[in-house]
Amino acid sequence: MTGIWMVEITAESILQCRVNSLTTPPPEVGGGGAAFDPATVSNAALSNADLTVTRSNTSTGGVASTAYKNSGKYYFEVTIGASHATTDFIGIKAATVSYGDITNGSAGNYAGYWPVHGSTVTSGTGFGGLGSASAGDIISVAVDLVNYAVWMRRNGGNWNGTSTADPATNNGGGGAISGSLAPVIGFSNFGSPVGGDNFTANFGATAFAYAVPFGFTAGWPP
């Protein structure tokens, strides 16, 4: 009788382990997260614990994080408060890339999204389109520094503007990127820039609006 009872418990334990392996979500970073670096600010100002950047004039500028990464998979979100210049930029870049590079569409080690223009761009070449954004839109950014690819979406829509792209399966990623990269916001002087335009990043300090892709860290650690 005792032997039968032990066999039943073992079977149940095996089954429970199997259920847990199928239902347990990927690990997430609890709280914290990186912030933008005040030392990188150009023609803008930081607020909200250095997570909101507001342009102070119509010149080219921006802000970046100095939490550079060269491995791992990360997810963060950026909420558009207001954006009027044609090529304001949300994305990632290497330390050697300037705000002019990302807003001019120059060659360089970066990848991101121009909200007003509607295109995702890397090193001067488009790799998808999310359509033009509006105030209040939330941009999801999934960065894979194992396979060196980027996926972006607007308000939970298709990644990189296509139904087949999926960061969880490494399908349809874009970006001519390499080495160490960090999040960045760029303010463009093209089109109709307006002082007061602003973006707010969520690097994991609060709950995300949309689901984190399986296998990605929820946030961009400091």
Q: So where are the chain's domains?
A: 33-205
Residue 193 has pLDDT above 90, yes or no: yes
Residue 24 has pLDDT above 50, yes or no: no
In the chain, the percentage of residues whose pLDDT exceeds 70 is 86
At 92 the pLDDT is 98
Which amino acid is it at 174?
G
Q: What letter does residue 27 receive in the DSSP assignment? A: P
CATH 2.60.120.920, applies to 33-205: yes
Residue 155 has pLDDT above 70, yes or no: yes
In the chain, the percentage of residues whose pLDDT exceeds 90 is 84
Contact present, 93 and 182 (Cβ < 8 Å):
yes
Sign, Cα dihedral of 19, 211, 50, 42: positive
Residue 14 has pLDDT above 70, yes or no: no
Structure confidence by residue, pLDDT tens digits, 160-178: 999 999 999 999 999 999 9
Residue 15: pLDDT band with limits 50, 70, 90: very low
Residue 30 has pLDDT above 80, yes or no: no
Cα separation values, 71 from 30, 163, 168, Å: 20, 27, 16
At 16 the pLDDT is 42
Of 210, 84, 205, the closest CA to residue 138 belongs to: 210
Residue 2: pLDDT band with limits 50, 70, 90: very low
Structure confidence by residue, pLDDT tens digits, 118-131: 999 999 999 989 99
Of 218, 194, 198, the closest CA to residue 63 belongs to: 198
Residue 17: pLDDT band with limits 50, 70, 90: very low
- Give the pLDDT mean for 36-62: 98
Which amino acid is it at 103?
T
Residue 139 has pLDDT above 50, yes or no: yes
Q: Residue 99 is inside which H or E element, if any?
A: helix 99-104
At 128 the pLDDT is 87
Q: Provide φ and ψ at 169, rounded to 5°.
A: -110, 10
Cα torsion through 20, 25, 28, 30, rounded to 10: -70
What single string gives the DSSP state of each residue in 132-152? ---TT-EEEEEEETTTTEEEE
Mean pLDDT score of the chain:
89
First to last CA, the chain: 56
